[in-house]
Structure 1
């Protein structure tokens, strides 16, 4: 086990940070907001953490906290600006936000290191730290998926008019989804940067949108568990399909297309439906057996 862990520690780290990035996109989608601002928050958090360590001499966790808070505040401000947009227009605006973050990093001079980025921001982060962070984030998100809070979130996403009629402030819920998205995205960016010890503008780009969105589509968009499944699949998949070599991108595209067509609720949705059918059959069998007696 120790040998396997040592050989795959980088993949384990990547799985956990990718999960956080995917969650930063999944949260607003669960609230009915087609937003990719979490990717921009990823860049902001990464740069803020790197600058605070390299230029200000901060230690690891204060730098991570700073990246998280700055990204959350900026993304919440973005949410206030674009709150009246919906659908495709919201998606375009938040993708533009991500690209603007990248452009500002390129033109940030000595502060951001320009096109070369920032190097030497190596934090003292172990896998156990990442696991604890992910457990806390997942636990908090789980509270929004169950009970009365879960029902309100579902209503905000599926029928905002009905939610408003029932006294749920849909606009407020959706604004705060930007804040949560920014905090998680900034956390992901800060942790990723301090694990790699570097961040460049090229890392904060549209490819992160594709990665996080495909992880959600394949895993499932209605729960953090779906984001976990998707993150595991897309981080570990290259080790499985490495034999396809230059056809790897084609294989990725095929998997995503097949999931979108045949697994509209993601792997998690299929698993839940299968479990529900199994429980239903078991219950019917018990009722039939009791009637015979």
Structure 2
């Protein structure tokens, strides 16, 4: 209990960072290179803060409205750009996030301008965040298995094959934007009412970098990779605090090493090691015994030379 009290803020940051990362990891799992979740983080956060501070809306209705608005706008974005792919799609979604930041900066008294909104301290605790995170993770975990999980993998790996199999690739991509927007909006609303403040700086490009770094380190194939990355990214500065001025350099060096030598993230490395370990423990099947037809009367396996010699001997005898 004493440990939790001393590290409650870091635990809180881990959970909110994981929620944000999941809004980026989910599209990548479907093969959609989208960072719209960061913009939705800002939409959800600002909506919840405005409703709570200026219209006296209670905490949870404000969170729900912020989440739904972010999901709806992200879905509309998906309808417009879902046919884009690769870097073009990534740049379009980054532009969407930057537009949200610019709109917040120029929102006047409604958004607080460049200073943001302060005093939006809702009735949210770390336990509430944990329960919401558990619901999101449960939904994502279910989607990774069974027939639905195989369809998602097919859409990501080979969209043409998926379409040939009768899978509506366009519909999956559009629904991905909706799910990503809902998760990002929830992350923004909860984080804002938990910390009581939100500024345009929190919706800027550095948030894209943070979310992408979490996924690179942990792995993009599963929610578990995002969890690993969120823990590493959140706790690493605390662990490296003793190196003072060298902290940023060591942090960047470790992230670069992960990007170069762990293309599948920590989760990918763990799966590879487990696979190798199981392969080594798997018993080697015994060699099949030689059939009786392949043996000569002496009991030894026959060879082509032996068979020729035996045939010539039999011919000479006859």
What TM-score comes out, normalization by structure 1 length? 0.95
- Cα drift, residue 5 of structure 1: 0.6
Q: Tell me the secondary structure at the aligned position of residue 34 of structure 2.
A: coil
Cα distance in 2 for partners of 1:145, 1:238 equals: 31
Q: Do residues 223 (structure 1) and 222 (structure 2) align?
A: yes
Report the secondary structure of 2:119's partner residue.
Answer: strand
Q: 1:63: how far off?
A: 0.9
Deviations along 1:26-77, one digit per CA (max 9) or x if unpaired, are 1111111111000000000000000110011111111111111000001111
The alpha carbon displacement at 1:250 in A equals 2.2
Partner Cα distance (1:202, 1:23) in 2: 20
Q: Distance in 2 between matches of 1:40 and 1:46?
A: 10
The corresponding residue for 1:17 is: 16
2:38 maps to which residue? 39
Provide the rounded CA distance (Å) in 2 between the counterparts of 1:89 and 1:247: 36
Counting only pairs closer than 5 Å after superposition, residues 17-96 of structure 1 correspond to structure 2 as: 17-96=16-95
CA distance in 1 between partners of 2:176 and 2:243 (Å): 39
Q: Whose radius of gyration is greater, 1 or 2? A: 2
1:199 aligns with 2:176: no
Residue 291 of structure 1 is matched in structure 2 by none
Q: Which residue number corresponds to residue 185 of structure 2?
A: 186
Q: After TM superposition, give the deviation of residue 269 of structure 1 in Å.
A: 1.0
Consecutive unaligned residues of structure 1, counting only runs of 5 or more, are 289-293
Name the TM-score, length of structure 2 as normaliser. 0.88
Distance across 2 between alignment mates of 1:247 and 1:148:
48
Give 2:295's aligned residue: none
Taking the aligned partners of 1:248 and 1:173, their CA distance within structure 2 comes to 42
CA distance in 1, matches of 2:243, 2:206: 21
| 2:131 aligned residue | 132
Deviations 1:193-250 (A, max 9, x none): 0111011111111111011100000001000000000000000001111133233232
Q: Secondary structure at the match of 1:241?
A: helix
Give CA-to-partner distance per residue, 1:140-179, whole Å, 9 cap, x none: 0012110111111111111000000001111110111111
- The Cα RMSD (Å) is 1.3
Task: Kindly tell me the number of residue pairs found equivalent between the two proteins.
Answer: 287
